[in-house]
Structure 1
Amino acid sequence: MNALVIKALAFAAILIVATLVVVKQMNIDLSDPINLLTMIGAIAIATLTAGVSAKYISQMKTDKAEGELAEENWDGIGEYKNELPSGWAYSFLGTLIWALWYWQWGYPVNAYSQIGEWNEEVKAYNQKFEAVHKNADKATLQQMGESIFLVQCAPCHGTTGDGLSGKAQDFSARMTKEQILDVIKNGQNQLGYPMGAMPPGMASGADAEAIAAYIAGGMKGEQPAAFAACASCHGADGKGNGGMSPNLAEYDATLVAHVLEHGKKGMLGKMPSFKTTITPVQEKALTEYLQSLSK
């Protein structure tokens, strides 16, 4: 065994001992699989570093440059067309394979992560919540819906649901005349209803004004003849043809569900989707509360 190998082994031993000392001083629990894996990795790195260093330092002392030179050179300095050292190539390939494993399956080790634990706890709590409130009465749902509204909706729609003076949807009224005229003019394709997009320009002029006034007024009184263009999708009563298109008359459960799932662009910006943050019971509760505001 030559002096270089002895020095390399001594260097590796020093690194390993130093690592063990640090682990002991920091009271790191090696029974934890993550800590143990890290320790094994540190020892492997120290050993490989010493071995590879010894090998290539030895080669630098004995090897001579040989092989076919490439045509390109820089100020007379050229490169040989030698193959990559097999050890380097296999190490690089192994690192790539390990990286892919680590990214896809290795982290978190033993399938644990704080985010994953949190998501599992939330999922379990939501299941318990749904079971407890599955048959909640109307009064309980309204109270629950008010709490959800104050936390999730009030920042844009106001604590009373008034839409912050027209900056967002006012829940005391289904839609204003101006909003209806805007939809008639520009169409609508945000909520993902089965009937699909409402094209722009379904009516204009006096007909559009009559339709907007009729819907904004709660669909009371004589229905304008021009409403026939709307009835083909929304139904003669404006209630959405059994969920096939938006309900023009009230905030029904289908309408609320579509808005919560898809979000909606408004004057304050884009309302985000709440489909992953609100449970079915909470959605039902919010619908009850919104309906109470419109009444």
Structure 2
Amino acid sequence: MNALMVKALAFAAVLIIATIAVVTSLDIDIFADSVNAITMGGAIAVATITASVAVKYVNQMKTDTASGKLAEENWDGIGEYENELPSGWAYSFLAVFLWSMWYGLIGYPVNAYSQIGEYNEDVIAYNKKFEEIHKNADEATLKEMGESIFLVQCQQCHGVTGDGLSGKAQDFTARMSKEQVLDVINNGQNQLGYPMGAMPGGMAQGADAEAIAAYVAGGMKGEQPAAFAACGSCHGMDGKGNNGMSPNLVSYDAALMNHTLQNGKKGMIGKMPSFKTLITPVQEKALTVYIQSLSK
């Protein structure tokens, strides 16, 4: 064994020992799962292959002489020989390609640690704990919690005070404007997924539509227009939604908040996304309490 081979083996051994030392210092169990084991195996393989390749080609440079046919292209008189691709390089490339396909399609996704997966598991565990702690929260606590949620998730479109940014989004300080009610009467509504289904457009027209819109926007106070009977068939004559079968026209009740948060809703400045995976039931309840306090 010549001196170069000894140096190469020593270099590979140093790399392997250093890798193991670093991993051990991080308190990582190499064999805790397949990813750690594969990673360590890869590090050892890289060190070994690096040393072997270095020895092979350094020795080859000492003994080989240039031979073969020169390519026609050259740069300042420097040309390349038209030699075949070294078989070692070709096989190495093929091996790395096959391994990467296995690792990317089978090894990692099916049986491996995932930061996203760990994060999702932590979120689920925390939400479960959160729900248990606050399942019997009083109204004051829910209102405070709801305000925090509103300022993080809702105020960008609805404004810090919930005023809807001058009509660009729903104004929570007032139930509905006459224009909003007229728009729904004329065009219908089928975004919130209520059991009663879609409301068709044109349920009332002309003066009847104007009277209904003014009545609903005014908080359903005063004399009820005769044409409101068409609305009462789904919303109830009191406008409270027939026990959650259709939207409540009087207040932001829990059913209306739930359907809106679960399904999202299209508005003037874009579509409000669904929040069904973003907030917990307790947070939804808290947000409902806070928004109800704004309308009061």
TM-score scaled by length of structure 1: 0.73
Q: Is the 8 A contact 1:142 1:289 kept in 2?
A: yes
Alignment-derived partner of residue 210 in structure 1: 211
Tell me the CA shift for residue 94 of structure 1.
7.1
Counterpart of 2:226? Answer: 225
Q: CA deviation at 1:18?
A: 7.0
Within the alignment, does 1:275 sit opposite 2:276 as a pair? yes
Which residue of structure 1 lines up, in the alignment, with residue 19 of structure 2? 23
Matched, 1:106 2:111: yes
> Match of 1:219, SS?
coil
Structure 2 residue matching 1:218: 3-state secondary structure: coil
Residues 124-158 of structure 1: CA deviation (Å, up to 9, x unaligned): 22222222221112222222212221222112111
Corresponding letter in the other structure for 1:240: G
Q: How far off its partner does 1:96 sit?
A: 4.5
Work out the CA distance in 1 between the residues paired with 2:254 and 2:187.
Answer: 25
Instruction: Indicate the residue corresponding to 1:288 in structure 2.
Output: 289
Paired-residue identity, %: 65
User: 8 Å contact 2:146–2:290 — kept in the other structure?
Assistant: yes
The one-letter amino acid of 1:106's match is N
Which aligned pairs between 1:243-262 and structure 2 lie closer than 5 A?
A: 243-262=244-263
Does the aligned pair in 1 maintain the 2:189–2:201 contact within 8 Å?
Answer: yes
One-letter amino acid of the structure 2 residue matched with residue 261 of structure 1: Q
**Secondary structure of 1:203's partner?**
coil
Alignment root-mean-square deviation, CA: 3.7
Which whole-Å CA distance do the structure 1 matches of 2:230 and 2:130 have between them? 44
Q: 1:173 to 1:121 in 2, by over 3 A?
A: same
1:248 is displaced (CA, Å) by 0.8
What does residue range 25-64 of structure 1 map to in structure 2 within 5 Å?
32=28, 33=30, 34-44=35-45
Q: Do the aligned partners of residues 24 and 147 (structure 1) sit closer, same or farther apart at CA in structure 2, a change above 3 Å counting?
A: closer
CA distance in 2, matches of 1:181, 1:268: 19
Inter-partner Cα distance in structure 2 for 1:177 and 1:157: 18
Whole-angstrom distance in 1 between the partners of 2:164 and 2:137: 28
Which 10-residue stretch deviates more, 151-160 or 91-100?
91-100
Structure 1 unaligned runs (5+)? 1-6, 55-87
**Residues 184 and 203 of structure 1 are in contact (CA less than 8 Å); yes or no, is this contact kept in structure 2?**
yes
Structure 1 pair 140–43 and aligned structure 2 pair: CA distance change class (3 A): closer
| Contact kept? 1:30, 1:36, Cα under 8 Å | no
**Cα distance in 1 between the residues matched to 2:97 and 2:157:** 53
Once the 2 structures are TM-superposed, how far is the Cα of residue 90 of structure 1 from its aligned partner? 10
Contact 1:29–1:35, Cα closer than 8 Å, also in 2: no
Distance apart, 1:22 and its partner CA: 6.0
Structure-2 change in CA distance of 1:273 and 1:14 (3 Å):
farther
Matched positions, count: 263
- Tell me the TM-score normalized by structure 2: 0.73
In 2, the alpha carbon distance for the partners of 1:97 and 1:145 equals 48
Task: Give the match's secondary structure for 2:156.
Answer: helix
1:195 equivalent in structure 2:
196
Moved more, 39-48 or 210-219: 39-48
Question: Shift in Å at residue 13 of structure 1?
Answer: 5.8
Alpha-carbon distance in structure 2 between the residues aligned to 1:92 and 1:178:
62
Contact 2:184–2:201 under 8 Å retained in 1: yes
The answer to whether residue 162 in structure 2 is matched with residue 157 in structure 1 is no
Residues 283 and 48 (structure 1), Cα distance of their counterparts in 2 relative to 1, 3 Å cut = same
Structure 2: any 5+ residue segments left out of the alignment?
A: 57-92
Alignment of 1:139-158 (within 5 A): 139-158=140-159
1:118 aligns with 2:123: no
Deviation at 1:15, TM superposition (A): 8.4
Q: Following TM superposition, by how much is the alpha carbon of 1:166 offset from its aligned partner in structure 2, in angstroms?
A: 1.3
Output one character per residue of 1:105-138: Cα deviation in whole Å (capped at 9) or x when no partner: 1332xxx52x333333322222222222211122
